[in-house]
């Protein structure tokens, strides 16, 4: 969809203020929707007990939300493209919140499933639209801001599950779902207030006007790197609790371990986006993936104490790569269509996040948990060849226009 540019550029101070409001609104949307995604882990055991579900049934419940969110990235982005990004983000947040309203008012399993699907529909809009907002606002300098946007998602992942867990100590799950809906509606109001009524015209991007016929191939390579990176992350987190248990860790140790990984990951996401801008995408990605593979393998022989000490460093490398990759999407977007490129990229990484644990779990059932963790580490190494193949396209994208 073409977007008309104004005849005159806004003053520098106004542009900076609008950039900050755009980034702030995108971060708020990301924190809320990622928080919605991860708080479901806290509710799954409650639903299992109430509805008498098997583990497969619990997994199916999560898939209703996760699969809807991931599978609708492209069509939802296409439909939302008819609206302003401000309206699209506000509407998507309201729809996701209404999903929690349906869950809270449900009297049975069918209503719960309907609410999960509705919430997934709302969250499917957020990633491509908010990413496009940041990319349009910052143009060539978007890699760092996209890293902050990515970091904001981890803030939501850290706060919402904890809040739900605390509330479940004094409330039933349906009132908790209602409170989560109120949080979403409040966030929608805040988004309308924070996001600029007139967003900035798209700043020049490195991909603009560059289409050599290899753009689709290059972007496919980037999606492959993103999918492999996500698979590595999901596989490592899948086996970490079992590894800690084998070392004598308790449930408290597992909670501490995950907190250490996510804390390091949040720091890595905030830093690696800027680092990729300074040392280059290829060098940064290869470095973080090699460190991920080495640290994941190093966890196996270490006792519990040193393992816990190593986890923040693992989190930095494990999660930091994603910020570099998200920031590269505008560089390699086919035909300069950044919105569709983000939708495609998020479809690939969310799909990998859903399928990878199943594949790793099946492999570990046959070969053991140690082999499963080593397979996840090896997946990190598999990103190196496609990243190296992107050296020339990225160099061309970063060349002055």
Does the pLDDT at position 204 exceed 80? no
Mean pLDDT score of the chain: 80
Average pLDDT for residues 71-91, to the nearest whole number? Answer: 79
Residue ranges of the chain that CATH labels 1.20.1250.20: 13-194, 215-397
- The whole-angstrom separation of Cα 139 and Cα 207 is 10
**Per-residue pLDDT, 200:** 57
Residue 173 contacts by C-beta under 8 Å, 6 or more apart in sequence?
43, 46, 47, 50
Measured in degrees and rounded to the nearest 5, phi and psi for residue 209 equal 75, 5
Average pLDDT for residues 67-96, to the nearest whole number? Answer: 82
Top-confidence range, 59-68, 172-181, 277-286: 172-181
Does the pLDDT at position 338 exceed 80? no
pTM (two decimals): 0.72
Top-confidence range, 66-75, 271-280, 300-309, 349-358: 300-309
**Per-residue pLDDT, 381:** 92
Top-confidence range, 182-191, 211-220, 299-308: 182-191
Residue 143 contacts by C-beta under 8 Å, 6 or more apart in sequence?
273, 274, 276, 277, 324, 327, 328
Does the pLDDT at position 333 exceed 80? no
From first CA to last CA, the distance across the chain in angstroms is 22
Name the nearest CA neighbour of 39 among 132, 163, 149: 163
Identify the burial level of 368 via C-beta atoms within 10 angstroms of its C-beta, where 0-12 means exposed, 13-18 middle and 19 or more buried: exposed
CATH number, domain 13-194, options 2.60.120.10, 1.20.1250.20, 2.40.30.10, 3.30.420.10: 1.20.1250.20
Name the nearest CA neighbour of 150 among 303, 1, 29, 8: 29
Fold of the domain built from segment(s) 215-397: Growth Hormone; Chain: A; (1.20.1250)
Lowest mean pLDDT segment, chosen from 117-126, 155-164, 374-383: 155-164
Lowest mean pLDDT segment, chosen from 160-169, 209-218, 383-392: 209-218
Does the pLDDT at position 8 exceed 80? no
- The whole-angstrom separation of Cα 61 and Cα 6 is 47
Does the pLDDT at position 15 exceed 80? no
- The whole-angstrom separation of Cα 401 and Cα 397 is 9
């Amino acid at each position: 969809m073409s977007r008309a540019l104004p005849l005159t550029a806004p003053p520098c101070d106004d542009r900076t203020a609008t950039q900050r409001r755009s980034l702030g609104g995108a971060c708020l949307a990301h924190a809320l929707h990622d928080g919605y995604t991860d708080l479901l882990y806290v509710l799954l055991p409650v639903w299992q007990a109430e509805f008498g579900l098997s583990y497969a049934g619990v997994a199916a419940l999560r898939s209703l939300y996760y699969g809807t969110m991931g599978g609708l990235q492209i069509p939802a982005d296409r439909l939302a493209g008819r609206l302003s990004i401000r309206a699209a983000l506000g509407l998507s947040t309201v729809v996701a919140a209404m999903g929690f309203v349906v869950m809270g008012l449900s009297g049975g399993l069918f209503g719960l499933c309907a609410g999960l699907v509705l919430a997934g529909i709302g969250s499917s809009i957020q990633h491509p639209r908010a990413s496009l907002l940041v990319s349009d606002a910052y143009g060539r300098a978007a890699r760092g801001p996209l890293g902050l946007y990515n970091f904001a998602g981890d803030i939501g992942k850290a706060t919402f599950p904890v809040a739900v867990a605390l509330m479940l100590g004094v409330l039933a799950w349906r009132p908790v779902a209602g409170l989560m809906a109120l949080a979403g509606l409040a966030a929608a109001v805040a988004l309308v207030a924070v996001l600029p009524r007139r967003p900035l015209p798209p700043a020049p991007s490195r991909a603009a006007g560059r289409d050599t016929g290899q753009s689709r191939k290059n972007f496919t390579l980037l999606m492959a790197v993103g999918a492999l990176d996500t698979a590595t992350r999901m596989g490592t987190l899948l086996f970490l609790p079992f590894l800690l248990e084998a070392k004598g860790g308790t449930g408290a140790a597992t909670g501490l371990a995950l907190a250490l990984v996510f804390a390091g990951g949040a720091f890595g996401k905030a830093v690696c986006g800027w680092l990729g801008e300074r040392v280059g995408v290829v060098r940064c990605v290869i470095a973080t993936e090699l460190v991920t593979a080495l640290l994941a393998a190093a966890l196996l022989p270490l006792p519990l104490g040193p393992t816990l000490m190593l986890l923040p460093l693992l989190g930095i490398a494990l999660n930091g790569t994603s910020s570099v990759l998200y920031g590269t999407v505008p560089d390699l977007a086919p035909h300069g269509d950044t919105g569709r490129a983000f939708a495609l990229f998020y479809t690939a990484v969310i799909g990998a996040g859903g399928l990878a644990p199943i594949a790793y779990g099946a492999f570990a059932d046959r070969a053991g948990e140690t082999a499963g963790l080593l397979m996840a580490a090896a997946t990190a190494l598999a990103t190196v060849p496609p990243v190296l193949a992107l050296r020339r396209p990225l160099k061309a994208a970063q060349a002055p226009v």
